[in-house]
Amino acid sequence: MPLSRNGNNPIAWRIEQMNERVRSAKEQDLYLYLQPAEEVDGAYVTINGRRMLQFASYAYLDLIGHPKIQAAAKTALEEFGSGTHGVRVLAGTTRIHVELEQTIARFKGTEDAIALSSGYVTNLGVIAALLGRNDVVISDKLNHASIVDGCLLSRSKFVRFDHNDMEALEQALATAPKRAGKLVVTDAVFSMDGDVIDLPEVIRLCRKYEAVLMVDEAHSVGVLGETGHGILEHFGIDDVSAIDIQMGTLSKTIPSVGGYVAGRSDLITYLKHSVRAFVFSAALPPASAAAAKASFEVIQEEPERVKTLQKNVHYFIKGLQERGFNTLNSETPIVPIIAGDDERAWMMARLSQKQDIFVLPVVSPAVPAGTSRIRANVTAGHTLEEIEQAMNVFEQAGKAVGVLPS
């Protein structure tokens, strides 16, 4: 049998290696992934009968369970059922899908938008659809895996520049073949470090070298800008055409699932007919689309949520730094608390969970070796007292494992 454990089959070897890592972490009581939630209740989650403060979710504006969003999903479920039995271009488009795309376009101030079944698939499908073999894609080194995978799938020349290093970006643009199509792609907020791309400089360089610009706003919508409209608002840039391709997800601030691109109508028409993940994959379930549409409306109707989030982010980062933690350059709800090696990150997360703070470790190779961390996400759903409670637990855990002096 080809997958036999005793053979030399590299596929079997890969499976065995991973199983060995998981087994060893479980034996040391350090395996913290895939724990099923029994209940989700605002900023709290119950796992294994233990109610913990949630510091690992992307519920930045605390929208899960919002009455308007729940009602929109229920109505759509009753009206259209649980699925569409089709891809968007054939039988899968409902009135709700069209309304969602119009709502996204209005929210982002663009002519049109396209919604796909996940953020991952959006990056994969859109980058691959735009580029050909003779083109060049230039990507920040810390971009999300879905961007990296999209770049690889496109089969264009894939150039990575040092994280947020504008001289390196310029060098990459200047040395790209003159006649090649050039796409610069970057996260707005980096999903492991929580820092923000130097967008004004990226825009200037893209204009200078006639490159198309795509920005992934997975972690910036609802988070950046005075009213949560994202990175353009954060930098006070009024010209929406400064970013050609505004990509985002419906799974972080927005409590649903899916991904989107907002932009010019000719771009969206192109994508709707050439992104293989759109043309050959099923439409979003109507209830998910309706929940996403209602969420964009709630962000605009309840601007105090963004204010609370930004106040909490400031309080959390300041408090952690005062306790002596290294939080890199985060200025957003994603706050890395650097532990160093993998073991320390695992131990810190395990100790925090034992003190009822649900937080997870991020270890190499997901982040560079030596920068393993717990990644704590603060939201608008936390009170200042709860943030204080979490920070005290992190401090105790940090001292116990030697990240902070005891």
Ligand X SMILES: Cc1ncc(COP(=O)(O)O)c(C=O)c1O
Which residues are near ligand X by CB under 6 A?
Answer: 118-120, 123, 144, 146, 187, 191, 216, 218-219, 249, 251, 259
User: What would the two tokens of residue 70 be?
Assistant: 């729940």
- With CB atoms as reference, the residue minimizing the distance to ligand X is 119
Nearer to ligand X, 121 or 169 (CB): 121
Q: Looking at beta carbons only, is 218 or 337 nearer to ligand X?
A: 218
Residue nearer to ligand X on the CB measure, 361 or 398: 361
Give the Cα separation of 357 and 376 in Å (integer). Answer: 10
Question: Please, are residues 231 and 144 in contact by the beta-carbon 8 Å criterion?
Answer: no
The token pair that represents 205 in the structure block? 């360089």
The first and second tokens of residue 257, run together, are 């699932």
Minimum separation from the CB atom of position 242 to ligand X (A): 19
Please report how close the Cβ of residue 220 comes to ligand X at its closest, in angstroms.
9
The reply to whether 219 belongs to the active site is yes
Q: What dihedral angle (degrees, nearest 10) is formed by the CA atoms of 396, 399, 405, 406?
A: 70
Nearer to ligand X, 187 or 395 (CB): 187
166-175 and 199-208 helices, crossing angle to 10°? 20
User: Across the strands, what pairs with 246?
Assistant: 215, 262
Cβ of residue 253: shortest distance to ligand X, in angstroms?
A: 11
Pairing of strands 372-377, 360-362: antiparallel
Closer residue to ligand X in complex, CB, 216/342: 216
Rounded to whole angstroms, the Cα distance separating 27 from 261 reads 44
Which of 154, 191, 288, 372 is catalytic? The answer is: 191
Q: Which of 182, 219, 234, 272 is catalytic?
A: 219
26 is catalytic: no
Smallest distance, ligand X to C-beta of residue 362, A? 12
Q: For residue 398, what are its two tokens?
A: 């940090």
Min separation Cβ 214 and ligand X, Å:
11
Instruction: State how far the Cα of 366 lies from the Cα of 145, in Å rounded to an integer.
Output: 9
Q: From the centroid of its chain, how far is CA 366?
A: 14
Q: How far apart are CA 256 and CA 159, in angstroms?
A: 33
Per-residue tokens: 381 = 């759903």
Give the torsion sign (CA, 271, 277, 282, 285). negative
Tokens of 13: 């070897």
311 catalytic per annotation: no
Min CB(388)–ligand X separation in Å: 28
Tell me whether residue 146 or residue 156 sits nearer to ligand X (CB atom): 146
Nearest to 138 by CA among 108, 162, 104: 162
Question: Which residues are identified as catalytic?
Answer: 191, 219, 252
